[in-house]
Amino acid sequence: MSKKATFLPFNLSLAPFLLVLLYFLLLSAVVVHGVQEKKILSVHNNIWSLTKSNEPSSSCFSHNLAKGRESSSTTLGMKHRGLCSGKTIDWGKKLRRALTLDNLRVQSLQLRIKAMSSTTTDSISETQVPLTSGVKLETLNYIITVELGGRNMTLVVDTGSDLTWVQCQPCKSCYNQQGPLYDPSVSSSYKTVLCNSSTCQDLVAATSNPDRCGGSNGVEKTSCDYVVSYGDGSYTRGDLGSESIQLGDIKVENFVFGCGRSNKGLFGGASGLTGLGRSSVSLVTQTMKTFNGVFSYCLPSLEDGASGSLSFGDYKNLTSVSYTPLVQHPQLRSFYILNLTGATIGGVELESPSFGRGIIIDSGTVITRLPPSIYKAVKTEFLKQFTGFPSVPGYSILDTCFNLTSYQDVSIPTIKMIFQGDAELEVDVTGVFYYVNPDASLVCLALASLSYENEVGIIGNYQQKNQRVVYDTKQMKLGIAGENCSI
């Protein structure tokens, strides 16, 4: 015998009440879900309210923080350059100027990428890639200190450059730096790289520097000259040498570097630059036998003024690292390129035809650049979730801006980038907004759109804060793990 369905009587007068109750239950579910995908930002708890770096410049010399379990790994402290000057800082002026310079750097990178990509694959050997550095910003880059020939040198960390260089005596034209210039004449371990050497030829191949061994006026040239030009007119010009370099507790002999005799640009008082790119002249390649082609860094948030770290060799303290393959682009072998397969805002998945394309990860660029279709999707979804706050006109490359002076804490949607292999980079809460004005009257979403869909995206250092980023050039993979980088 089949059972009949039983129906309970329904009072139609209760229908409006039940509908309202159902509406609030659904709304509360959405709100709970949103809280899980948002983070709290303390609007006025930031370094930009400071006017002076209180740390003496000597405290900015990095040191060996933690020796690896094996003798082939070492860790250096890494500071934000703007916190090491000991001078009065007009953060508002510097932050606005940084956006202009960052835009010049990205334009320069895109022009170089376009020129390199237009060359056929067969005509380019593995090392025939131009030097890939860009504009060095005065405020938003990071520095380490190494010993070069036994002398402390502060260097800007740049994964988009190959050649490491410092300002040298005698100097024809040098910018002001903190501390003395490197003087090869007083070093017993310094050696000049000769023009007809294989090392000099490697430089020509790796950087597209012209071969200048012919000399002039019948005098044969002996030194190996180099020139590196940057997108804003900055440059370094000098000759190659080799010297011992001390990275933490590990010394590397016969390290080839540029001795800059004529240098110009916004290098922020640093002694020079360390190139962590992938060509034959980079620090990574030169130390391959010592560190196995592995390095990692953790960039601290600028708000607390703490140090991060740069590690060479296997970093044993890593947990929960997700890896994604490094894309092998035949024309852009010096860049670190990832396959960006997706992104979420507050847990909502975005759609764009440009997902599945390569994107460069770079420690020298500040603001992340996205193809227009991806940026439009990010902006649209972000504005859906970040509502009720007064909007203001954009500034420079940033077009999604707010006035948050009346707020102490704000809840902001999480931003995640997803890469091949399901590796994720969740942007730290301090990397979502950029303070154009230190008083929070002009705070902008810290992402920008590229001009054209076919340009290559770039993940900047502002969105890499409080992440351990592991570069394994031998296994051709990159690892990402959330980490509190402040030490």
Alpha carbons 146 and 76: distance in angstroms, whole number: 9
- Does the bond joining 170 to the residue before it have cis omega, within 30 degrees of 0? yes
Alpha carbons 182 and 92: distance in angstroms, whole number: 33
Q: Let me know the angle formed at the C-alpha of 314 by 468 and 279, rounded to the nearest 5 degrees.
A: 85
Structural contact between residues 204 and 310, judged by C-beta atoms closer than 8 angstroms:
no
* Amino acid, res. 214: G
Structural contact between residues 248 and 146, judged by C-beta atoms closer than 8 angstroms:
no
Q: Which of 158, 162, 225, 232 is catalytic?
A: 158
Alpha carbons 202 and 279: distance in angstroms, whole number: 9
- Going by C-alpha positions, the residue among 400, 418, 412, 429 that lies closest to residue 459 is 418
Alpha carbons 158 and 284: distance in angstroms, whole number: 12
Partner residues linked to 469 by β-bridges: 297, 480
* DSSP code per residue over 285-310: HHTHHHHTTEEEEEBPPGGGT--EEE
- Going by C-alpha positions, the residue among 81, 69, 65 that lies closest to residue 247 is 65
362 flagged as catalytic = yes
249 flagged as catalytic = no
Q: How many CA atoms lie within 13 A of 62 on its CB side?
A: 34
* Radius of gyration for the chain, computed over Cα atoms and rounded to the nearest angstrom: 25
Q: Which of 202, 225, 362, 428 is catalytic?
A: 362
In this structure, how many other beta carbons lie within 10 angstroms of the beta carbon of residue 363? 24
Structural contact between residues 110 and 132, judged by C-beta atoms closer than 8 angstroms:
no
Partner residues linked to 309 by β-bridges: 77, 298
The torsion angles phi and psi of 82, rounded to 5 degrees, stand at -65, -20
Distance of CA 143 to the CA centre of its chain: 12
The two tokens of residue 24 are 């609030």
Alpha carbons 413 and 328: distance in angstroms, whole number: 33
Alpha carbons 384 and 362: distance in angstroms, whole number: 29
Q: 219: burial class by Cβ within 10 Å (0-12, 13-18, 19+)?
A: exposed
Residues classed as catalytic: 158, 362
